[in-house]
Amino acid sequence: MAGASDNREAVANPANVSVELPTACVFAAFLTKLAKHLLVIACLAILSRAAGRLAVDQLAIFGLIVVATMAQFVGSALQTRFSRQAKLSRLEP
């Protein structure tokens, strides 16, 4: 039972959330920006392939798009999770 009460105190303590929250928000913002930059690189690779200037493999372009999609998904999930956690920590007395 002591472990369960310690866990409730850690969740209820907004000080723990404030320490973890900025790091997670920065990481989430980094992932979303990385996804946008990777998509720009993929678009440029498609355009250069169409113009015949650079021989870029289709699999490489597909890989860039998949990595960008996963980074966007994880970044937005982290932002949603920690924004909800921040709202809950403000509501607790």
Q: Model confidence over 6-53: pLDDT tens digits? A: 444 444 554 454 545 678 788 899 999 999 999 999 999 999 999 888
Into how many domains does the chain fold? 1
Tokens 């959330």 — which residue? 17
pLDDT (0 to 100) of residue 66: 97
pLDDT (0 to 100) of residue 74: 94
Alpha-carbon span 21 to 4, nearest angstrom = 23
* Domain enclosing residue 69, as ranges: 2-91
